[in-house]
């Protein structure tokens, strides 16, 4: 059993009494992903990654926090919560997990704009909860070979692998960085953090037109494999 929201109180309390269980909190976003991917894309992908990671390692999967920090996508559609709000939710949830005897927590992030909220969150939570919990935060795109994009080849392939809610006929090329220097990419990245539409024009970073389900499955498996290894390394290296 991994998906905690489908479970029943007596079973859970019994399980948590005896075992040193590990929980996963996935965090995503609700924001524009071009005309071909749904606004739930980040939340959909991170939910799938977290589910596979939980299944593989027998971790407890918490419901995804589907709202994130996506103000940079305005005036394109986004439903956003403040950086401090997301941080506060995570701290509250970890406190509640500890009260339920869950002391090891992985926060798995699926949206770039959430990075500020999770920066040093492990230290903040450990301090608040007097070192009674271990918290690790990981962003899934650090565990694949390809460069992260936004509604480009990677995200579109991943969505083709996990969802039927993709309109490939509407997929259009966005910002292509292949011929840019490192410095130019850093500069446009900074602009994208302030205004994603200004940096990319059409809200897409990358080229989704050649995305395939096959590539998506390959990338997904690669991410889960590498993330899983990293989680296991953290668990063996870090003992309170």
**Where do contacts with Zn ion occur on this chain (CB under 5 A)?**
41-42
**CB of residue 81 to Zn ion, shortest distance in Å:** 16
Task: Give the span between the Cα atoms of 67 and 85, in whole angstroms.
Answer: 10
**CB of residue 74 to Zn ion, shortest distance in Å:** 16
Task: Give the span between the Cα atoms of 215 and 160, in whole angstroms.
Answer: 9
Q: Helix, strand, or coil here: 201?
A: coil
The answer to whether 175 and 205 have CB atoms below 8 angstroms apart is yes
**How far is residue 199 from each of residues 30, 176, 208, 229, measured CA to CA in Å?**
19, 11, 17, 35
Residue nearer to Zn ion on the CB measure, 148 or 234: 148
Residue nearer to Zn ion on the CB measure, 23 or 166: 166
Residue nearer to Zn ion on the CB measure, 81 or 125: 81
Sign of CA dihedral 49, 17, 95, 10: positive
- Nearest-CB residue for Zn ion: 42
Residue nearer to Zn ion on the CB measure, 41 or 66: 41
Cα 237 from chain centre: 23
**CB of residue 144 to Zn ion, shortest distance in Å:** 14
Show the beta-strand stretches assigned E in the chain: 22-27, 30-31, 60-61, 78-79, 104-109, 134-139
Residue nearer to Zn ion on the CB measure, 41 or 137: 41
CA dihedral 83, 87, 92, 94 (to 10 degrees): 150
Residue nearer to Zn ion on the CB measure, 41 or 117: 41
**CB of residue 110 to Zn ion, shortest distance in Å:** 7
Residue nearer to Zn ion on the CB measure, 41 or 114: 41
**CB of residue 229 to Zn ion, shortest distance in Å:** 24
**CB of residue 150 to Zn ion, shortest distance in Å:** 5
Tokens of 10: 């007596």
The answer to whether 128 and 91 have CB atoms below 8 angstroms apart is yes
**CB of residue 155 to Zn ion, shortest distance in Å:** 5
- Residues 60-78 as b/e (b if ≥16 CB within 10 A, e otherwise) read bbbebbbbbbbbbbeebeb
């Amino acid at each position: 059993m991994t998906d905690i929201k489908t479970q029943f109180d007596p079973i859970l309390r019994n399980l948590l009494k005896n075992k040193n269980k590990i929980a996963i909190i996935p965090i995503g976003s609700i924001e524009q992903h071009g005309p071909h991917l749904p606004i739930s894309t980040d939340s959909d992908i991170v939910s799938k990654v977290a589910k596979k990671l939980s299944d593989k390692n027998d971790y407890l999967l918490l419901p995804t926090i589907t709202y994130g920090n996506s103000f940079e996508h305005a005036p394109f559609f986004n439903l956003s919560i403040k950086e401090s709000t997301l941080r506060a939710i995570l701290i509250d949830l970890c406190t509640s997990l500890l009260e339920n005897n869950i002391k090891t927590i992985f926060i798995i992030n699926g949206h770039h704009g959430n990075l500020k909220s999770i920066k040093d969150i492990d230290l903040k939570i450990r301090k608040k909860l007097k070192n009674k919990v271990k918290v690790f935060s990981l962003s899934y795109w650090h565990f694949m070979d390809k460069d992260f994009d936004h509604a480009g080849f990677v995200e579109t392939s991943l969505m083709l692998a996990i969802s039927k809610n993709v309109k490939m006929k509407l997929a259009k090329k966005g910002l292509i960085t292949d011929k840019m220097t490192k410095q130019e990419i850093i500069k446009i990245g900074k602009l994208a953090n302030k205004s994603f539409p200004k940096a990319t024009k059409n809200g897409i970073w990358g080229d989704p037109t050649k995305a395939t389900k096959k590539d998506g499955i390959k990338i997904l498996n690669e991410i889960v494999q590498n993330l899983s290894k990293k989680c296991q390394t953290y668990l063996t290296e870090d003992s309170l």
